[in-house]
Amino acid sequence: MRIALNILSALLGLLLLNGGLNKFFNYMPAPEDLPEAMVKDFGALTEISWLMPLIAIAEILAGILIIIPKTRALGALIFFPVAVGILLTHIFVGPSGLPIALLVWAVLLWILWDNREKYRPLFK
């Protein structure tokens, strides 16, 4: 099980790195068939000039930390609020991406569960 978690964590980390870097360098163009509501949501996010760079930095940092087993617990905490946004976006705006969002959440929840003892002091 540890090997599977390490592989899935590495894949999640690379996915986050790619998503964060793309927000800065825009090397992956957006699909042309995006739902109108999603285009409006992304437009609203870009209207707040500091928000996309903040999300990108959180994704890059979380991706690096999640790849490294020793820092994975911290990376998961950094990624959690971004993951909430991803999930809600795919539930309410663009359901076609929901299966991928659910896979991302499955890996995130596994990481959180695996590190639950490290989080215990946060809830005392």
Annotated domain spans of the chain: 2-25+49-123
* Long-range pairs for 8-11: beta carbons < 8 A, 24 or more residues apart: 8/107, 8/110, 9/66, 9/67, 9/69, 9/72, 9/107, 9/111, 10/67, 11/107
Rounded Cα distance between 57 and 101, Å, is 19
The Cα diameter of the chain in Å comes to: 48
pLDDT per residue rounded down to tens, the chain (124 residues): 899 999 999 999 999 999 999 999 999 998 888 889 999 999 999 999 999 999 999 999 999 999 999 999 999 999 999 999 999 999 999 899 999 999 999 999 999 999 999 999 999 8
pLDDT score, position 30: 85
pLDDT score, position 63: 98
pTM above 0.75, yes or no: yes
